[in-house]
Amino acid sequence: AAGVIQSPRHLIKEKRETATLKCYPIPRHDTVYWYQQGPGQDPQFLISFYEKMQSDKGSIPDRFSAQQFSDYHSELNMSSLELGDSALYFCASSSLMNTEAFFGQGTRLTVV
């Protein structure tokens, strides 16, 4: 069965650079969530989209933005990167009619 696809899997950026993370949800899933997980931490909710509209907002820094496109894939744009942005970034998708969220493999971002 198709799963949530994230790209890239690994990314190394320098401070003050920008990064774009992509997420392709499970087919027919209309909701996408973004989470940030620091080393040894629990996943922190950043933002979510339902039917291409922002549905919920968590602790997403102003330097980050995200959107969901017409094909339901989503991109997380991160600017002015800081060392503290180094983390695993997970995307999850669900169908509004389904109560379960499925997670992608994550993108490991390292800021140097």
Length of the chain: 112
Residues numbered 1 to 60 that lie near other proteins (CB under 8 A) are 31, 33, 35, 41-45, 48, 50, 55-56, 58
What's the min distance (Å) between Cβ of 16 and other proteins? 26
Q: Does 108 bind other proteins (CB under 8 A)?
A: yes
Q: How many residues sit in the footprint of other proteins (CB under 8 A)?
A: 25
Q: CA torsion sign, 80 to 81 to 83 to 85?
A: positive
Interface with other proteins (CB under 8 A), residue from 92, 93, 109, 111 = 92
Interface with other proteins (CB under 8 A), residue from 25, 90, 93, 111 = 90
Q: Does 105 bind other proteins (CB under 8 A)?
A: yes
CA–CA distances in Å: residue 49 to residues 11, 23, 27, 109: 24, 12, 15, 22
* Cα-based torsion angle of the residue sequence 96, 97, 101, 107 in order, rounded to the nearest 10 degrees: -40
Rounded CA-CA distance 9/70 in Å is 23
Q: Does 71 bind other proteins (CB under 8 A)?
A: no
Instruction: For residue 53, give the 3-state DSSP assignment.
Output: strand
* Binding residues for other proteins (CB under 8 A): 31, 33, 35, 41-45, 48, 50, 55-56, 58, 88, 90, 92, 99-106, 108
